[in-house]
Structure 1
């Protein structure tokens, strides 16, 4: 809805989970806004169920005239996250934006969440966001400019039955962001959490199943999340930090109308039966 071309010229953005879905859309949008982009992820070869690789997305950016670097990264491994940031700075000279988009989805009851599975979602979600911040923050402090962004919700006391274990990791990511925002309020470094108000149409959403994610008519296109992210990331960091917002909330603040928001639904119109997530209709 808003043209951000050129607003991130000279900036360097890292996107984890950048090979498909929201991550790929973020990479392309950041490049269109002028940023050099680093596509981080584990996918080096095509998977029929989850199409896209770090190399295919990098090639897309380059075909459109942007600069991009693919870095194979398992965000569960500290050494690989450290290497990701080091390669970013070695290639482009700085690290301005780090988006912790990689995530492990697990919507099951605690009794149906084995410890091994919980360890995995904790490592991929909250621990990986911590590692990315830990290794990127020194560069951002030296630069006097930086944005950290996680794909995570506002902290609430809602019970979230069937998703309790998962939500501890997602809310942990948000708690990390508001803490970093306070710790670096004088360094011009922003840390924010952004969450989709409704499910986003991605391969992961489709593969998880309709019993968990509803019908496509209840989903929005990835562009709503991307447009919301760019409203945050093109702001001067000190002016937009410590926030835990949905895509709807930030876009409404920035002037999007109800009709504008409706244009993001997969069908082009609001669903007849809204999907309830964490106790509220969306």
Structure 2
């Protein structure tokens, strides 16, 4: 199955039909999503995209281990879109630096970065002429090519006739929920370290859906509703709370173990 021309299947509504309803106390047009937009500082944005790619790569590997190559392939295409976005950012900044005058997109990024980081509008976030910028671009190009080759390998594992592509965004969403539920089980069983790790995996995937995914070039585009965004933010807040609790409980247990060890040594 060729890679070129195969599109990921994205959905505007996440999960069940409940996402169609307005969130409690929130109308479809009134939700403030200012803190849910991608960073305006390009290096921060690239780092965010790299973290998203890393989290989703883990999911692809797990899908392959579970014998679900079609789901793995559909999610792998999302990884390609992530690295393509990172390349676009680098090329845009490099071209702007070479021309000596920022374009409108660059100015918009800088204005946003100034508000978030308290820096001046004249701050350069990516200069294609510096060695660091060239190294960054080379690294991203290398990652894109590596993931493209991986996608081709995954495509070979798909059986002929498997023409219906799974919804990659729904797969990511459901996987995040599954990680969260598994984390809850581990927490109840007293394995706080495992619970915190699973909560963290769930949060990273949900943050990707909330912040980065809507800006990626996908076919069809991923456009969550305000109600979807509310649900994602609510899940993230809950999971972050459980993750914090699990970590604090683990630290308490470690301190108790240390105290008991010291007590035994003395007596």
TM-score (norm 2): 0.29
* Structure with the greater alpha carbon radius of gyration: 2
TM-score (norm 1): 0.28
Give the number of the structure whose residues are more often helix, by fraction: 2
Give the number of the structure whose residues are more often strand, by fraction: 1
Larger RCO, structures 1/2 (Cα 8 Å, 6+ apart): 2
